[in-house]
Amino acid sequence: MNAKVQLFAVEEDRIRPLPVADRVTNFDQLYDGLELGVYSALRTFSHNKFLYLTEHIQRTQASMAVLGWAETLNESRLRRALHEVCTQFPLPEARVRFDFLAAPPLHLGSPSRLLIGLIPFTPPPASLYQVGVQVGFTHDLVREHPLAKTAVFAQKRRKYRAADAIYEYLLLNEQNHILEGTGSNFYGVLDGALHTAGTGVLAGITRRIILDLAAEQHIPVSLTPIHMEGIPLLTEAALSSSSRGLLPIVKIGEQVVGNGRPGPICQELLEAYNDFVAREVKTAV
């Protein structure tokens, strides 16, 4: 039994623990061999609290609708299960993923298509927010259904894991505009405005928060994506995700962004985001 990586089936009358091999260390391994569907991934705060859990659940339901699925999530059942399994998790924080599968995992002994996976979570080191990260580009990865968070895409991006100096990889459209990261949304600051792609990308939950905070801070926002040729003109850049918040980017490919250090707009948004998290995290029930 792998105590630090856990998988549960949320059934009508109980939460059924499913077997996890000792070799499993990440979600890709945990869900390998299952009939993948849609999912949402987030992290805990203070052991069993979440940020914008309602929005994660709503996006998962919307992803099911995009795929033409008629089923609905039982939100109250999911919330109770999340609270129970996260409260009992043996480590301080967890990376949490809930999936609605394309077919139930009958070979694991459960008829339920709703699963919850937990793996250990350690926040990115503070130094990354202080010095920023470098990103590269994918060459053949596209999101077939941009408005649906599908687990199939999560499996396809595995070959673009962080390696050496590259922390994350960016997706481009056919016109060479930057869309998003393999597991994040992308932002570039151009002429004082915060740019992020408005279409062709996943509607990230953290992205929604960042754009709301930018409006509150009176930072101009543009949903026009940054073109590859515009990278040298950027003064700042960043990525966002549920597990990382807002993380400054200081190098894109071989191009240094701005002066090579996190800039004032990203720092202002990061501070506002951290304050927002402190106010808004809540337990699932």
- Structure tokens given for 32: 């390998």
Last residue in a domain, options 82, 101, 120: 120
- Vertex 34 angle, CA 28 and 39, to 5°: 65
The answer to whether residue 218 is domain-embedded is yes
In a domain, 25, yes or no: yes
Q: Hey, is 199 helix, strand or coil?
A: coil
For the chain, how many structural domains are there in total?
Answer: 2
Same domain, 133 and 243: yes
Q: Report the sign of the C-alpha dihedral through residues 263, 265, 268, 272, in that order.
A: negative
Q: Are residues 110 and 130 in the same domain?
A: no
Looking at 120, 140, 156, the residue that finishes a domain is: 120
> What is the helix (H) or strand (E) element at residue 249, kind and residue range?
strand 245-252
Neighbours of 274 (CB within 10 A): 12
Is residue 188 a part of any domain in this protein? yes
Judge whether 269 and 213 are in contact, CB under 8 Å: yes
235 shares its domain with 171: yes
Angle between helices 75-88 and 53-66 (to 10 degrees): 130
| Per-residue pLDDT at 147 | 66
Whether residue 7 contacts residue 117, with contact meaning beta carbons closer than 8 Å, is answered with yes
CB-CB contact of 266 with 190 (8 Å): no
pLDDT of residue 158: 66
Asked if residue 285 belongs to a domain, the reply is no
Residue 284 lies in a domain: no
DSSP character string of 172-185: E-TT-BEEEESSSE
Task: Classify 217 as helix, strand or coil.
Answer: coil
Q: Which helix (DSSP H) or strand (DSSP E) does residue 214 occupy?
A: helix 205-216
Last residue of a domain, one of 92, 120, 148: 120
- In contact, 99 and 73? CB cutoff 8 Å: no
Residue ranges making up the domain that contains 173: 126-279
Residues 130 and 113 in one domain: no
Task: Answer yes or no: do 167 and 91 share one domain.
Answer: no
- The pTM is what? 0.92
189 and 258 co-located in one domain: yes
Does 150 share its domain with 100?
A: no
Q: Which parts of the chain register pLDDT below 50?
A: none
In this prediction, residue 162 carries a pLDDT of 66
Looking up residue 239, the CATH number of its domain turns out to be 3.20.10.10
Let me know whether 153 and 28 are in one domain. Answer: no
Write down the pLDDT at residue 160. 65
Q: Any idea what the CATH number is for the domain that residue 50 is in?
A: 3.30.470.10
Do 98 and 230 reside in the same domain of the chain? no
Cα–Cα distances in Å, from 224 out to 103, 141, 196, 197, 200? 38, 21, 6, 6, 11
How far apart are alpha carbons 217 and 264 in whole angstroms? 12
The verdict on 138 and 249 lying in the same domain is: yes
* Residue pair 228/172 in contact by the 8 Å Cβ criterion: yes
Please enumerate in sequence order all residues whose Cβ is within 8 A of that of 16, keeping only pairs 6 or more positions apart, or say none.
8, 9, 109, 110, 112
Tell me, yes or no, whether 1 lies in a domain: no
- Tokens of residue 232, six digits: 């040298």
* 111, part of any domain: yes
In this structure, the answer to whether residues 267 and 188 fall within a common structural domain is yes
Please indicate, yes or no, if residue 132 is contained in any of the structural domains.
Answer: yes
The pLDDT of residue 141 is 76
Cβ distance 204 to 197 under 8 Å? no
Q: Is the domain of 69 the same as that of 158?
A: no
Q: How many CB atoms lie within 10 A of CB 276?
A: 18
